[in-house]
Amino acid sequence: MSAERPTMEDVAARAGVSRALVSIVFRGTAGASERTRERVLAAAADLGYQPDRRASRLSRTRTRMLGVVFGVGHAFHGDLVDSLYAAAAVSDYEVVLSGVTPRRPEEEAVRALLGERCEGIVLVGSALPSTALAELAARLPTVSLLRDVRAEGVDVVRTDEAEGLRQAVAHLHGLGHRHIVHVDGGRAPGAARRRQGYRSAVRRLGLAASPLLPGGLTEEDGARAAGALLSLPPGERPTAVTAFNDRCALGLVDAVRRAGLKVPEGLSVVGFDDIRAASYAHIALTTIRQDADALGRLAIERAASRLDGGRPPGSPVVVAPALVVRATTGAHR
Amino acid sequence: MSAERPTMEDVAARAGVSRALVSIVFRGTAGASERTRERVLAAAADLGYQPDRRASRLSRTRTRMLGVVFGVGHAFHGDLVDSLYAAAAVSDYEVVLSGVTPRRPEEEAVRALLGERCEGIVLVGSALPSTALAELAARLPTVSLLRDVRAEGVDVVRTDEAEGLRQAVAHLHGLGHRHIVHVDGGRAPGAARRRQGYRSAVRRLGLAASPLLPGGLTEEDGARAAGALLSLPPGERPTAVTAFNDRCALGLVDAVRRAGLKVPEGLSVVGFDDIRAASYAHIALTTIRQDADALGRLAIERAASRLDGGRPPGSPVVVAPALVVRATTGAHR
DNA sequence: CTCCTCGACTAGAGCGCTCTAGTATCGAGC
DNA sequence: GCTCGATACTAGAGCGCTCTAGTCGAGGAG
B58 is a domain residue: no
Q: What is the pLDDT of residue A310?
A: 66
Residue A109's domain comprises 65-159+292-319
| Residue B216 and residue B148 share a domain | no
Domain count within chain B: 3
**pLDDT tens-place string over residues A255-281:** 999 898 999 999 999 999 998 888 887
Q: Which of B52, B78, B219 minimises the CB distance to A73? A: B78
Q: What is the pLDDT of residue A274?
A: 94
Q: Which of B54, B82, B117, B261 to mutate to test the interface with A (most CBs of A within 10 A)?
A: B54
Residues of A with Cβ-Cβ distance to B275 under 8 angstroms? none
**pLDDT tens-place string over residues A232-255:** 998 899 999 999 999 999 999 999
Q: What is the pLDDT of residue B2?
A: 43
DSSP H or E run through A219? helix A219-230
The burial of A205, by beta-carbon neighbours within 10 Å (0-12 exposed, 13-18 middle, 19 or more buried), is given as middle
Is B160 part of the contact surface with chain A (CB cutoff 8 Å)? no
CATH code, B134: 3.40.50.2300
Residues of B with Cβ-Cβ distance to A281 under 8 angstroms? 220, 223
Averaged pLDDT, A18-47 = 93
| Residue A131 and residue A18 share a domain | no
- Bases along strand C below 7 A from a protein CB: 7-12, 14-20
**pLDDT tens-place string over residues A100-148:** 999 999 999 999 999 889 999 999 999 999 999 999 999 999 999 999 9
Nearest chain A Cα to B109, which residue? Answer: A85
B57 is a domain residue: no
Whether A59 CB is under 7 Å from strand C:
yes
What is d(CA B150, CA B131) in angstroms, rounded to the nearest whole number?
9
Cis peptide before A316 (omega within 30 of 0): no
| Residue A166 and residue A121 share a domain | no
Q: Are A328 and A285 in contact (CB under 8 A)?
A: yes
| Residue B213 and residue B118 share a domain | no
CA of B181 to C1' of D28 (A): 83
Comparing A1-10, A222-231, B31-40, B115-124, the range with the smallest average pLDDT is A1-10
Whether B248 CB is under 7 Å from strand C:
no
| Residue A226 and residue A268 share a domain | yes
| Residue B235 and residue B166 share a domain | yes
CATH code, B24: 1.10.260.40
Is A261 part of the contact surface with chain B (CB cutoff 8 Å)? no
Q: Which of residues 72-91 of A touch B (CB under 8 A)?
A: 72-75, 77-79, 81-82, 85-86
What is d(CA B232, CA B228) in angstroms, rounded to the nearest whole number?
7
What is d(CA A272, CA A269) in angstroms, rounded to the nearest whole number?
10
DSSP, residue by residue, A109-138: HHHHHHHTT-SEEEEET--S-HHHHHHHHH
C-alpha closest to that of B120 among B322, B306, B290, B245: B306
- Residue environment code for A168-178, b if the CB has 16+ CB neighbours within 10 A, otherwise e: bbebbbebebe
Beta pairing partners, A229: none
pLDDT interval class at A1 (50, 70, 90): very low
| Residue A286 and residue A166 share a domain | yes
Question: How far apart are the two ends of chain B, measured CA to CA in Å?
Answer: 74
Is B259 part of the contact surface with chain A (CB cutoff 8 Å)? no
Max Cα distance, chain A (Å): 88
B333 is a domain residue: no
A148 is a domain residue: yes
pLDDT interval class at A75 (50, 70, 90): confident
**pLDDT tens-place string over residues A135-178:** 999 999 999 999 999 999 999 999 999 999 999 999 999 999 99
Q: What is the pLDDT of residue A308?
A: 84
Collapsing DSSP states into helix, strand and coil, what is residue A2?
coil
A56 is a domain residue: no
| Residue B35 and residue B72 share a domain | no
Sheet strands side by side (includes A154-159): A94-100, A65-71, A120-124, A142-145, A154-159, A317-319
Mean pLDDT per 10-residue segment, chain B (333 residues): 76 94 93 92 94 92 94 89 96 95 96 93 96 94 94 94 97 97 92 96 93 92 95 92 95 92 95 90 92 97 87 81 97 91
Kind of pairing, strands A317-319 and A180-184?
Answer: unpaired
Averaged pLDDT, A28-32 = 89
- Residue A329's contacts (CB-CB under 8 Å, 6 or more residues apart) are A171, A172, A175, A240, A264, A268, A269, A270, A286
| Residue B307 and residue B199 share a domain | no
pLDDT at A298 over 60: yes
DSSP state of A306: I
| Residue A118 and residue A189 share a domain | no
Q: Could you tell me if residue B284 is left (phi over 0), alpha (psi between -120 and 50 degrees) or otherwise beta? A: left
**A-B Cβ pairs (cutoff 8 Å, strict):** 138
Q: What is the pLDDT of residue A2?
A: 43
| Residue B152 and residue B108 share a domain | yes
Give whole-number Cα distances, A298 to A87, A88, B104, in Å. 8, 10, 19
A57 is a domain residue: no
B330 is a domain residue: no
Give whole-number Cα distances, A158 to A81, A196, A256, A318, B281, in Å. 15, 16, 31, 5, 32
A325 is a domain residue: no
| Residue B182 and residue B285 share a domain | yes
